[in-house]
Structure 1
């Protein structure tokens, strides 16, 4: 049968599409043809498009270290369509950052705290609350210059420790930070690496992160609306100076927040 996917214009039952490591692609389908959906053989659910009841969609994520291919399959009463996503390297840059030595190699007495904070966050990100909590486009958490892009290899005190899992915005201490969209606060606390942290659940495995805050203005389980001030920027946690770190998690995968906003907003 003719392909029912709308993500690209090629009309075949098997299609190819590139996806950059650390990025997303959105596949859309007419609601009446939405069948059993799998991504790399793992079952997923088609999501209702908030702006068009005749269209459903899913977000395909490629982790930063992902290589090879991702296969999306829709089985509609035995008629199968596939999109094969070829993962391509994002050619990310490196940057050197000087921070307190304890933020690169933490004291042994703090390792338990760090592990507990990591486990708490991972448990939250692996949880998918049913239904999207937003029905409008996403917005940036502040209007400012980007000082560090997603995916950059982070060289802390001459040691490659990680990659940049979000986007940094220039922000003096005390600059208001707003929620990117409607949702529920699932983290609101000080953490060792992230400092003052707010994480918002937007439903269906979509989370936004706001780190290094000087002041947290929301509480756990609080409902927030798009554009609502959730805190003030700062220089807490592992930083070289004041700024806002903004991140996005989708289906437990950290993705490029700027590209996520551009692509999810195209649904509206």
Structure 2
């Protein structure tokens, strides 16, 4: 069986090789002319998976696919194949790597580690609600050019840090924390449609913006929310004020990006996406 798995990944000898770290995305480019479909196959898949792609933000002759590796269930190997009407097949061979992440020890209220029974149903509903949002596919480019930071401030905690709460490994950090005292204006990282704007148990005051083609930005621990679900916002609009709501040790902004079907390093994603927009023709 091990030999068969190796054979599968060894077949695309002409594929372009790329590394993909857990919790990160790669942006793959393909020619648009004659393109019929794009499929992927990884060690996590039982069969080929059809991928939905989007127009290149700068080159009308190309399309792009945002392909991500989950932090919790990372890809070891994957092949992404684009099939064309003339019989050509373009392939990317992706090799999963661990990435370099820190460990962070925090002390928080005990009920935020082991929440009481009366709030567990609320937590379950909030998780399901978010998952339903991320499962939707807006077949429209809602974003406007480059992504920007939600505020101009120092980063206090990076994506991927193992979170040890009260001496217990509870989670990993699924976003990037920015220093922000309560009441600091928070702006939309790009244009889009607000899909969630409410208070949640862990994330506190929360806003999620849909930028199209399964790219979402997240803003957590807010003290005041200034937008509503379904509202269209423009890049740079003030959407909320920072705060210290939810599971926190102090006031800050938690900023996240969900793209390619999973939570990814937001600063890494923005760097890669903006580089794509700024690349020379």
Separation of aligned partners in 1, 2:23 and 2:223: 28
TM-score by length of 1: 0.93
Residue deviations 1:223-244, cap 9 Å, x none? Answer: 0000000000000000000000
- 1:65-214 alignment, distance < 5 Å: 65=72, 66-77=74-85, 78-214=87-223
For 1:55-66, what aligned pairs fall within 5 Å after superposition? 55-65=62-72, 66=74
Alpha carbons 2:104, 2:162 under 8 Å: kept:
yes
Give the match's secondary structure for 2:61: strand
- 3-state DSSP class of the match of 1:258? helix
1:45 to 38, 41, 52: 52
Task: After TM superposition, give the deviation of residue 23 of structure 1 in Å.
Answer: 0.4
* 8 A Cα contact 2:144 2:235, kept in partner: no
23-32 or 193-202: which moved more? 23-32
Q: TM-score, normalised by structure 2?
A: 0.89
For 2:127 and 2:147, the matched residues in 1 are separated by 26
Unaligned runs of 5+ in 1: 1-11
* Counterpart mapping for 1:211-226 below 5 A: 211-226=220-235
* Consecutive unaligned residues in structure 2, runs of 5 or more: 1-12, 42-47
Q: Which residue of 2 aligns with 1:253?
A: 262
Deviation at residue 15 of structure 1 after TM alignment: 2.0
**Misfit runs of 4+, over 4 Å:** none
Shift in Å at residue 33 of structure 1?
A: 4.8
Moved more, 111-120 or 135-144: 135-144
Quote the Cα distance in structure 1 between the aligned partners of 2:53 and 2:115: 42
Instruction: Give the C-alpha shift of residue 13 in structure 1.
Output: 3.0
- Higher mean displacement: 107-116 or 31-40: 31-40
